[in-house]
Structure 1
Amino acid sequence: MNFNDIQSVWDNDKEPGGQVPDRIEQLKPAGLPIDKVRRNLRNEFGYQILSMVFVAFLPQIHSFNPALYVWFYVTYAIFVAISAYYLIKLFQFYRRLQHGAINTKDNLYETYYDIRLNIEIYKTFSFSLMPFVLIFLVMFLISVNKSAVIEMIQTGIFPQTLVVQFAVGFVCSLLAMGFATEWWVHHFYGRYAHEIKRLLDKLKEE
């Protein structure tokens, strides 16, 4: 390619009828789902922080037995540490969405995979909190039925029906929390990722 050919290509790239403006127009529909993901993340931070504050006062609200306070707050400290770790990661993701520019298909691909990655991080975050929810629930039940629990521990006799009920309740609680997590993630994040994927597939076909 000689100098004249290079100059011709350069001039064509500068023409307003070139492909770049068309591509930018085609990428504009991605802005709406990305804005919705960003808005939902912003709301999520508020929900999570309020939830952590609420959980901190559960022993007082539900009159836990004072003997459980130390165990509760040791567990709560671990709960907060894990929550803070994942919330920091999600906040960093929020900042990337806030400052990222969607002006090329490559940028949109990068944003799409970033959303998919952080959806998985969010699921991991939610699943990692499930044991804490169950522990807090057990502490509540122990506090409500203190005398019966002490008697069972002292005698070593646990009614079979109680064991079965606890096992069934444990499994049902896990399934319910898992289902709720999947629904929440799809409703607030997953469906918008699918919208972006459909746009990318459409651009690929052109």
Structure 2
Amino acid sequence: MNFDNIKDKMDAEPMDNIQVPQRMEGIGSRKMPIQKVRKTMRGEIITQLICIAVFFAVPSFVEMYRLPKSLYYMLMFITSLITLGYLIKMSWFLNKTSNLSAGSKETVVTFIHDLQLTLEVYKTAIIAGSLLLPFSLIIFLLGIEHVDESIFTKFILLDMSPLMLLIGAVGYIVLAVLIYFGTVAWSNSLYGVHIKKLEETLKELEI
């Protein structure tokens, strides 16, 4: 076999028509949604921790009656536990996906699956915690010493007319519905678009 002739033929062939496979070209773009999801989660964890600290610190700067202050701290403690639950889940997700390269179909499938599970915990925790916040805020406002303490007592004992009770119940239900749809919309705006891009990546990898 004449290797010199083979080499000469290879050198003579034009290299302009050689195309890089699309699957190789797309690897960099596949990493982007994963990096953006991780960056968003890190920012959200920090933001939530700051919010928890602020909520607990506020009563220290305002004069409150003892009972409403105690109830406020109890509700915020429960809300914080719920919040910390999904923050731990987010931290687990970030740790698990820290070394993903997005270079294979299995990697993308695993990332999407874990992300969707994490988001379900996220939505549930946000909704549960947010439903307690209105009570915390009302107790805080009614518990300030500049407000008549009897107003707080009537609120806690539900000492009000049936009409006011009905208005309060309907208002809370409306608020709960708004919180639910707001949470879903917020989650989709932060992560939904990246999930769609990753699902498109799966289709490309199957070609």
TM-score (norm 2): 0.77
- 1:12-68, Cα deviation, whole Å (9 max, x unpaired): xxxxxxxxx764444432211111111111110121011101110233456442222
Q: What residue is the counterpart of 1:139 in the other structure?
A: 139
Residues 26-175 of structure 1 mapped to structure 2, 5 A cutoff = 26-61=26-61, 63-143=63-143, 144=147, 146-150=149-153, 157-175=159-177
- 1:119-141, Cα deviation, whole Å (9 max, x unpaired): 11211121221232132033135
CA distance 1:24–1:64, change in 2 (3 Å): farther
| Aligned 8 A contact 2:23 2:204 in 1 | no
Give the distance between the partners of 2:61 and 2:178, measured in 1 at CA: 24
Greater relative CO, 1 or 2 (CA 8 Å, sep 6+): 1
Q: Percent identity?
A: 23
| Aligned 8 A contact 1:97 1:111 in 2 | yes
The one-letter code sitting in structure 2 at the alignment partner of 1:181 is T
Structure 2 unaligned residues grouped into runs of 5+: 1-20
| Aligned 8 A contact 1:123 1:185 in 2 | yes
The one-letter code sitting in structure 1 at the alignment partner of 2:97 is L
CA distance 1:94–1:157, change in 2 (3 Å): closer
Q: Which has the larger radius of gyration?
A: 2
Structure 1 stretch displaced more, 115-124 or 75-84? 75-84
TM-score (norm 1): 0.77
Q: Please, which of 182, 185, 192 is the counterpart of residue 184 of structure 2?
A: 182
Structure 1 stretch displaced more, 145-154 or 195-204? 145-154
RMSD: 2.4
| Aligned 8 A contact 1:38 1:94 in 2 | yes
Structure 1 stretch displaced more, 159-168 or 32-41? 159-168
The one-letter code sitting in structure 1 at the alignment partner of 2:166 is V
* Number of equivalences: 184
Give the distance between the partners of 1:115 and 1:152, measured in 2 at CA: 41
